[in-house]
Structure 1
Amino acid sequence: MRKKACLLLILSWISLLPASAQLKEISTENLGLVPLPKEVKAYEGKFTLPSKVIISAKTKDELNTADFLKTYLGELGKEVTITPDAKLATIKLKIGGTGSSKNPESYELTVDKSGASLSASAGPGLFYASQTLMQLMPPKVQESIELPYVRITDEPTFKWRGNMLDVARHFFPVSFVKKYIDYLAAYKINTFHWHLTDDQGWRIEIKKYPKLTTISAFRNESLIGPQQLMKKPEDYKYDGMPHGGFYTQEQIKEVIDYAQKRYITIVPEIEMPGHSVAVLAAYPELACKPGPYQTRTLWGISEDIVCPSEQTFQFFEDVLTEVVQLFPGKYVHIGGDEAPKDRWRESDLVKDIMKKEKLKDVEKVQGWFNSRIEKFLLAKGKKLIGWDEILEGGITPKSTIMSWRGEKGGIEAARHGNEVVMSPSTHLYLDHGQNPVPHSPVEPTMIGGYLPLEKVYGYNPLSSELTPEQHKYILGPQANLWTEYITTPEKVEYMLFPRILALSEVAWTPYANKNYSDFLQRLGKQFPRLDAKNILYRVPEPGGMETNKIVTQGDKAILTLTTLYPGSQIRYTLDGTVPNETSDVYTKPLPIPINKNLKVRAITITPNGRHSVPAEVVIP
């Protein structure tokens, strides 16, 4: 009897285990999840979603996530009901519980014969669980929707996972800003840095200073072509078209509310003391040198910056008072970069300040300027963050550094115990080119050099020059998209995707767990999702034409071409012309004669007809 009772107890215990624990574990390679979860297991078996899906949710955060799932499932043709009764649910949402991690962004996701269960200790984690669940579903309507049996335990590596959009150089409407926030949310990026002001435009309504939106928000015209290639005055040509726009405070609130529902914090940037020509166009009395000024039509750095007068401090304190009332986040970005001091060196006012404050270097005046602004922000319950140039004038222990000129500034700041966001232009400036040919006519004009997907993916925000103790000051990475030459939403998407998926894994997945080849395999499964959302991403060109991948056999070079997009074609030419839909289809390795100087070019054509730029190689 005792043996029988024991056996019954064991059988009863087994029956209480998750269904996945009783199934054979299988490979996870076909899941295609980005970013890669911390721990993911897949099992034999699939759960078929019924035509009528019931989601259980009670709390505010559960109901918020339930609404996202309801919308997505509706797009897949499912009828969805939300109920507080978990016993009735196909998809169960739960915040809290004994097994929940204390990290508000961690989550657990299980799919088994009973359906899907998503749990987290707080709203952000539950929302991220839903994003992962949606990646397990098809991107568009199909007759039967099957979810693979999985058990996923996940949490991010970094708490700051950022992306910046510059709306000052080119203005983008609220509708696109919301889409941009959706892009970030889909890949678990939690910080949207909104670059709102610069020499070429001021984009936020400040009620106390109406001329910021009637004058500073508009410029007369824009430069045509890459400014960095212009050497002579006659090279500078303009489009003759006024450009501008701004967000009302009501629109700002609307965007903030939209972001909060996606657990994204918005960090506003109000540039000072440099990049402020647009301010001087409306309020020239804030300059050290008499005006007039006009909102700048050139890109780059201007010597005209605001003067550190009491009038200027009053202006920025008034502006920031309205800004902090709008933005609930912890940080306010003050820029602080690229502020030439020529005007300050010539200013009697600045000389008096240096004498009074015992400052021997004019660069230290900017440190004094920043300290006053920081003290004001701290009194409002906010933290100052600025580009790494603010180190040159001196910073307080409370300042946060965004390191963009490489990692040097971030390393210095972390060694002093300051918070750091790593954002080096060498790896995370998404306005840099994606084609190895500089200023290629087949790609949007770029600011910097060549920044391929692999280089973004390979970035590690935790510098080896810092100790493990100092690593704790690295909040995380951030990629930036400056828009001098990114003039339309379509060009934004082209520069953002697919590199933003690489960023998401840099920010979410431990560096030791990253593998580029594995990432590419998972990335291929994301392209149909981008297509379903009508995102005009850059179609990756075929691989295999890199010189280190070409195999020589006798008098032939063998090209083995690959494509990341499942179901796409590769078409090629051997005469140097750009391939199209009528060119030869690649079906097997290509033997190319050596000593003929043949230029081989190949493109990927996706199932919906989009083309990559051509990859090319000359076989000597």
Structure 2
Amino acid sequence: MKTVRLSMLASAVMAMLGSTAALANQSTVDAISQFHLNYSVKDNFAAQNGVDCAKLGADWASCNKAVVKLTNNGEAVTDKDWAIYFHSIRPILEVANDQFKVTHIMGDLHKLEPTDKFTGFPTKQSVEIPIVNEYWQLFITDVLPRWYVTADKATPKVIANTDTEDLSQFVTPLGDQWKRTPDDKNILMTAEARFEKNSDVKTLNVNSLRGQIVPTPLEVKVHGQDVDLSKGVKLDLSALNGDAQNAIKARFALLGVKEGNYPLHTEISSNAFTGDEAVEGAYQLRIGNKEAVITGYDQAGVFYGLQSILSLIPTEGPMTIAALEAKDAPRFEYRGIHLDVGRNFHTKASVLRLLDQMAAYKLNKFHFHLTDDEGWRIEIPGLPELTDIGSKRCHDLSEKTCLLPQLGSGPDSNNNGSGFFSRADYIEILKYAKARQIEVIPEIDMPAHARAAVMSMEARYDRLVKEGKEKEANQYRLLDPTDTSNTAGVQFYDRTGYLNPCLDSSRNFVDKVIGEIQQMHKEAGLPLKTWHFGGDEAKNIYLGTGYTDQKKPEAGKGIIDQSNQDKPWAKSQACQVMIKEGKVTDVEHLSSYFGVEVSKLVKAHGIDVMQAWQDGLKDAKDASIFATDHINVNFWDALYWGGFDSVNDWANKGFRVVVSNPDYVYLDFPNEVHPAESGYYWGTRFSDERKIFSFAPDNMPQNAETSVDRDGNVFSAKSDKPWPGAYGLSSQLWSEVVRTDSQMEYMIYPRLVSVAERAWHRASWEQQYQAGREYKGGETHRVDVKALDSDWQRFANLLGHRELAKLDKAGIHYRLPVPGARIASGRLEVNTSFPGMVVEYSTDNGKTWQRYDDKARPQVSGEVQVRTASPDGKRFSHVDGVKA
């Protein structure tokens, strides 16, 4: 009895001590969470300034120096039982303060913790932790928010000043640290540089824009008279189904056109079209004094004809439009945008707003990237773990309840790091798209970028094994338990980032997911016509060309021990059996092999088209080996890295090429070369509306005359191969550093309008592709740049005078361009990339603002700040300054 009492007493004492320790740890966590954290980039040329980046194992021997500073304004903290978790897209190579160490956890998640030499955080003092990162940090969004601190049995807390989307709250302005290399030839966009860049774009008389439709029609004849719509329109929408009618009525109402007397008739008559105009989406439009008539080749044609009338609607002044006649047909059958909701979730409301704008600008393919390593975003009946676990991120290092925090989401699930579309949500999106003539192409990315699915199915496996249902547990398992491969994906996930293509259970999983999503499409009345396989980046980054083995080091490369690095699935027994049986040559061919296998499942479901990122099918002989009728490839080689030539290979192998070049149409890349802008930039330092507008997607070499490479250098381009032509054009929005809906819209708009122009309309200055014709930037002058510049001037004025106001009416949080400015002879001169915009200036550091009048050009002295305002006056651009 005494022994029992002593045991109970000991347990009580231990529980009390544990509780006391937990309270102490929580106290430490709470204290550190109130520290002020500052991150500053110190040197992007570290390799040239004494740091042996190669020895540190940096890709291409490139690294940068930064400093993390923690300021303690409270009581001293001496406890060593704590860790700060933080997100970094750049691997940490070295910590130059022996009181601290950094450990890579998974993906971008790292852990900073004290060493035995830690002496504490003194009161009212700062501690600096110098670090060396791989690559460079050129834009403020290279630094991610929501650093958080935790300890044993303590609740994690975000360090307060990092819990923000205003990164300037904890990141020092990069200042001069905006060049990738010392000989970087890009131009920093100061106010003066912008003024020079915008100087050839003049403000046109609004009357000269009369009758202009966006995107530009194939053929239009504008008449002298105007049609008054102030008394409203009488819509005959009998050629459209009910949902499409409602979509059109909603757009008329949004733009302030009421129901009234002016007749607007619609009809479908395919016989009215011949030759190149007899295609899906073609229409004829006649706007006269007494009525307007739209004749469509099909229902899509009628819909686009109506959008052309809506394009003419003014946003201010009299409600009149030009009388005109137009014949029009789309340039490409595929005109799309890709939206990534896997890395960070974007809400249903933002998706519906995107579909509205796609419809307004005649885009017809919505490529919905629903899954990635960081998140699974669609409910699949029968597989609840996909959303119960795979759609959530939180601080659970065991990942039994959620995925690890990534990409600035912090320890909690109350932000866009978490989220998913229910089955009902997805069906609603499909119906909304159908009403707007838009095909939804779901992408379930595999076999790489699949960690959310893999970890979810591991959780399912564990649950069912515990229930004694081992056969059921293995039905959809995506990992081979024998696979001990040491591999790292491009975003630094281990082997759990790859679905195993050698398992029957992986095929079961794909078949299940296709079937469930197809059923949603059937219920929505929008058939699943195209399945996107994904297929990209199934490789080990440490076996890439920028690294070299320590036993045979090569100059200019990161020196690592490559002997312990494996290709994905190299040690999977299931895959080794397949290789021995001759089903696949080696593990490198598994991605393309799996693409063929998935195409068989896609075809079995009655789906005629499979789509993939090009590298996922790189080992396929040609398109004929796939089971579906057609194979689309998103082509994403940067032009200056040889894309002007390699694009031909895909088309000549029978693939339908959807041009998706990162250096032109990746909308997650920065708008301009300025550290305060946001986005990834591995393919180019900027892509603005003018650059996208100048893109020649059907003659890739031509772009060498009108563009530069990532470092601002001219390049040459030619191909000796035949070019059958592109199937389509797609822009891409990846969401690694696009965490909120407003950030998403800031990156997409108004650049999407330029994408739509090139997808719908082939300009006169775009040359026909000719094998063997070489284009050299700065040397050859084959492109009619005067025609290009004149075309852009027209388009830029349409954006400034009309299109931005329509985005305002739709509630779109688009990017307002920062003005260009200079002071000449004491007078302020200002311009914008879109003439017609309202510009304001301040002479008292932003306390008061005045509207700029270019005719007056005010006399100023000292520093002057400038900004643009949205047409509705509710939002403003970033502020920039110029000095007298």
Give the TM-score, by structure 2 length. 0.57
Q: How does 1:469-480 map to 2 (within 5 A)?
A: 470-472=723-725, 474-480=726-732
In structure 2, the partner of 1:240 is: 411
Is the Cα–Cα contact under 8 Å of residues 371 and 395 in structure 1 kept in the other structure?
no
Q: Does 1:568 align with 2:838?
A: yes
Q: In the aligned structure 2, how far is the partner of 1:417 from the partner of 1:73?
A: 42
Alignment of 1:147-166 (within 5 A): 147-166=321-340
Partner amino acid, structure 2, of 1:454: R
Kindly indicate whether residue 637 of structure 2 is the aligned counterpart of residue 405 of structure 1. Answer: yes
Q: What is aligned with 1:454?
A: 690
Give the corresponding residue for 2:282. 106
Which of these residues, 280, 294, 306, is aligned with residue 499 of structure 2?
306
Cα deviations by residue, 1:411-458 (Å, 9 ceiling, x for unpaired): 3211222111110111111111123113x1xx4454653222222222
Q: 1:500 to 1:352 in 2, by over 3 A?
A: same
Q: Is the 8 A contact 2:808 2:870 kept in 1?
A: no
When structure 1 is superposed on structure 2, of 325-334 and 156-165 the one drifting more is: 325-334
Give the 3-state SS of the residue equivalent to 1:269 in structure 2: strand
Give the aligned partner of residue 415 of structure 1: 652
| Aligned AA (1:460) | A
Please say if 1:333 is aligned against 2:532: yes
Query: What is the match of residue 610 of structure 1?
Result: 875
Note closer, same or farther for the CA distance 1:161–1:52 as it changes in structure 2 (3 Å cut). Answer: closer
**1-structure distance, mates of 2:219, 2:847:** 42
Equivalent position to 1:316, from 510, 523, 544: 510
Distance 2:832 2:352 in 1: 35
**Contact 1:410/1:421 (8 A) holds in 2:** no
Whether 1:44 and 2:224 are equivalent positions in the alignment is yes
> In structure 2, which of residues 254, 268, 275 is the aligned counterpart of residue 95 of structure 1?
268
- 1:432 aligned residue: 669
Equivalent positions of 1:510-529 (< 5 A) are 510-512=762-764, 515-524=791-800, 525-529=802-806
Tell me, yes or no, if structure 1 residue 70 matches structure 2 residue 237: no
2:864, 2:339 → 1: CA distance?
37
Q: In 2, are the aligned partners of 1:603 and 1:611 still within 8 Å (CA)?
A: yes
Distance 1:58 1:360, change over 3 A: closer
Q: Does 1:260 align with 2:434?
A: yes
CA separation in 2, counterparts of 1:259 and 1:237? Answer: 31
Deviation of residue 329 (structure 1)? 3.5
Give the SS at the match of 2:764: helix
CA distance in 2 between counterparts of 1:93 and 1:584 reads: 44
Point out where structure 1 has 5 or more consecutive residues left out of the alignment: 1-25, 82-87, 223-234
Question: Compared with structure 1, are the counterparts of its residues 451 and 78 closer, same or farther at alpha carbon in structure 2 (3 Å cutoff)?
Answer: closer
Give percent identity, aligned residues only: 26
| AA in 1 matched with 2:652 | R
Q: Counterparts of 2:430 and 2:648 in 1: how far apart (Å)?
A: 32
1:354 match: 579
Taking the aligned partners of 1:529 and 1:237, their CA distance within structure 2 comes to 33
1:559–1:592 contact (8 Å) kept in structure 2: no
> Is 1:145 paired with 2:145?
no
Instruction: Report how far residue 264 of structure 1 moved.
Output: 0.2
**Structure 2 CA distance for partners of 1:580 and 1:606, relative to 1, 3 Å:** farther
Q: Is the 8 A contact 2:372 2:449 kept in 1?
A: yes
Q: Distance in 2 between matches of 1:76 and 1:306?
A: 48
Q: Which runs of 5+ in 2 are unaligned?
A: 1-205, 397-405, 459-476, 522-526, 541-566, 624-629, 702-717, 766-787
In structure 2, do the counterparts of structure 1 residues 365 and 50 end up closer, same or farther at CA, with 3 Å as the change threshold? closer
Q: More displaced, 50-59 or 366-375?
A: 50-59
Query: Which piece of structure 1 moves more, 272-281 or 389-398?
Result: 389-398
Give the conservation status (yes or no) of the 8 Å contact 1:572–1:600.
Answer: yes
- Measured in 2, the distance between the counterparts of 1:259 and 1:173 equals 15
Equivalent residue, structure 2, for 1:8 = none
Deviations 1:314-369 (A, max 9, x none): 21122222223334242111111112253411222222211212644321122211
Relative distance call for 1:281 and 1:236 in structure 2 (3 A) is: closer
The letter of the residue matching 2:480 is C
> Match for 2:614 among 388, 399, 402?
388
The superposition leaves residues 158-212 of structure 1 with CA deviations (integer Å, 9 ceiling, x where unpaired) of 1100101111122223232211111111111100000011111111122232221
Pair 1:358–1:122, CA change in 2 (3 A) = closer
Q: What is the count of residue pairs matched by the alignment?
A: 552
Q: Distance in 2 between matches of 1:105 and 1:528?
A: 26
Deviation at 1:388, TM superposition (A): 1.4
Aligned-pair CA distance for 1:249: 2.4
SS state of the match for residue 272, structure 2?
coil
Q: 1:498 to 1:372 in 2, by over 3 A?
A: same
Is 1:34 aligned with 2:207?
Answer: no
Structure 1 pair 199/77, CA: closer, same or farther in 2 (3 Å)? closer
| Secondary structure of 1:317 counterpart | helix
Corresponding position of 1:80: 259
Distance 1:558 1:584 in 2: 12
Structure 1 window deviating more from structure 2 (329-338 vs 131-140): it is: 131-140
The alpha-carbon deviation at position 251 of structure 1 amounts to 2.4
**2:669 and 2:678 in contact (8 A); partners too:** no
Report the secondary structure of 2:868's partner residue. strand
Separation (CA, whole Å) in 1 of partners of 2:845 and 2:220: 42
Counterpart of 1:287? 479
Match of 2:388 among 214, 220, 244: 214
Stretch of structure 1 that moved more, 535-544 or 159-168? 535-544
CA distance in 2, matches of 1:351, 1:470: 39
For residue 169 of structure 1, give the secondary structure of its aligned residue in structure 2: coil
Equivalent residue for 2:817, pick from 516, 529, 540: 540
Give the TM-score taking structure 1 as reference length: 0.80
SS of the residue aligned with 1:511? coil
Q: Flag the structure with larger Rg.
A: 2
CA distance in 1, matches of 2:818, 2:570: 51
Are the aligned partners of 2:693 and 2:754 in contact in 1 as well (CA < 8 Å)?
yes
Determine the C-alpha separation between the residues in 2 that align with 1:466 and 1:380: 39
1:506 Cα deviation from its structure 2 partner: 1.1
How many angstroms does 1:80 deviate by? Answer: 3.1
Q: Take 2:324 and 2:492, find their aligned partners in 1: how far apart are those partners? A: 50
| Matched-pair contact (CA < 8 Å) for 1:579–1:603 | no
Q: For 2:482 and 2:386, locate their aligned partners in 1 and report how far apart those are by CA, in whole Å.
A: 19
For residue 70 of structure 1, what is the amino acid of its counterpart? K
Partner of 2:294: 118
How far off is 1:250 after superposition? Answer: 2.8
- Secondary structure of 1:130's aligned partner: helix
Change (3 A) 1:380 1:146: same
Distance verdict in 2 for CA 1:137–1:172, change over 3 Å: same
In structure 2, distance between residues paired with 1:300 and 1:127: 45
Partner of 2:126: none
Partner secondary structure for residue 259 of structure 2: strand
- Structure 2 Cα separation of the partners of residues 208 and 291 of structure 1: 27
